[in-house]
Amino acid sequence: MRTKIVLGTIGTVLEILGLLLVAPGFVSAIYRESNGVVAFALASLLSLLVGMLLRRFGSTVEMGYRDAFAVVTIGWLLATIFGALPYIFQGISIIDSLFESISGFSATGATILTESNAQGYYIVNPILAQSSIADKIAGMIESDLAGYNSAFDVESSNTFFGLLFWRSFQQFIGGLGIILLIIAIFPRLRVAGRQLFRAEAVGPSKETITPRAIGTARILWRIYILFNIIEIVMLLAAGLPLYDAVCTAFSTLATGGFSTKASSLVAYNSPVIDAIVAVFIILGMSSFVLHYRVLTSDRFAWFKDEEFRFMISILAEVTLILLFFGKIDGDFLTRFRFASFQVISLMGKCGFVNTLDYNNWSMAAKLALIMVMLIGGCIGSTAAGIKVGRLLVDLKYMRMNYLICSIPGPFCQ
């Protein structure tokens, strides 16, 4: 591993992260959250300064495999640390902040937030928030800006829209990967981009759309952003406020499941919203290379792809198990709504819920949901898990061995 190359590229990662931290800062300013403005301003400045310092002492020459793996590993680690700073500055403990940041960038969806306000939005414990670093700095600025109409308002710390937006934005970034984002926007990486792409990609296939990794990364991000925009528009049409629609979409395609509401999608109680989110979870848990083919050359590529068909068949079969053996309350349509959504959400490793009564479901339903959680999405998707493609290969291998061993001969001892 060549240290200067690793430092230079990681410096670039932190600089980009510093710029991305500006977005939730603007959201905090819009909602007049002084603590949020201060927290994101500090986190952004620290990330930019450390990034520029590392890049100053780094190098941008050709990168090898070892360098690429080091950049991906250390880059993800530092991104989660600097991504945790806004939580820390607003009163959340260091361990909890790191947990939330890692959960966000890895699109896991587990959260340490437990409290909510009257509107159902997550909040930070008021006692912790009022004793936070951001609150103290905001208080000093407020005293200096007394009498001016600014974002630094005494009552601005009662909501945390900026922080909740950052949680969802982390999942949006982590869905395809922050390293893949760096590859897409930094053409100067050249050969290094190809090495980073191979180190960042997971699964048995590292299929590229174009010969150049930079071109592939850009196409994947364009598709990803396009799907997010379409979902936001559809959620707005379904009646969600703009803020909720954006945050929900960011967590859907990334198959992360962070919600601004403590009760997740239960808070909206809308079959239409459930259906929209379910469709885009399926898109998120499908191969993005396959989406590219559908959008550019073959409209029926989804249905020609064996892995995609196998994934849909699993979703349908497990939904039927829950529908008829899950002991779900309600009429047929209600049971189908709850059963199908939970199967899609959990197999996609998303974590959104549209009912809080699943603990009363049968043991058969719970075991079926655990099984699909282990399987996960397709190879080349944003979903985690064993992957549908691997399961398909294993089943074919078992079938082949069974057929061979059913015929007496030297191959079956």
Per-residue DSSP letter, 360:
G
Q: Output the pLDDT for position 52.
A: 92
Using alpha carbons, list the distances in angstroms from residue 323 to 314, 316, 368: 14, 10, 12
Amino acid at 73: T
Nearest to 128 by CA among 163, 152, 101: 163
Is pLDDT above 80 for 260? yes
Q: Output the pLDDT for position 49.
A: 95
d(CA 156, CA 134): 12
Question: Computed over its alpha carbons, how large is the radius of gyration of the chain?
Answer: 23
pLDDT digit string, tens, across residues 282-338: 999 998 888 988 988 888 889 889 999 999 999 999 999 999 998 888 899 999 999
Q: Output the pLDDT for position 135.
A: 86
Amino acid at 178: I
Amino acid at 144: D
Per-residue DSSP letter, 121:
B
How many Cβ atoms sit within 10 Å of the Cβ of residue 411?
9
Encoded tokens for 344: 């899609």
Q: Average pLDDT of 338-346? A: 93
pLDDT above 70 as % of the chain: 83
pLDDT digit string, tens, across residues 269-297: 999 999 999 999 999 999 888 898 898 88
3-state SS track over 294-337:
HHHCCCCHHHHCHHHHHHHHHHHHHHHHHHHHCCCCCCHHHHHH
**Hey, which residues does 261 pair with through a beta bridge?**
121
Least confident of 167-171, 260-264, 394-398: 394-398
Is pLDDT above 80 for 197? no
Amino acid at 252: T
pLDDT digit string, tens, across residues 56-111: 887 666 666 677 777 778 888 999 999 999 999 999 999 999 999 999 998 888 89
Beta strands in 153-214 (DSSP E): none
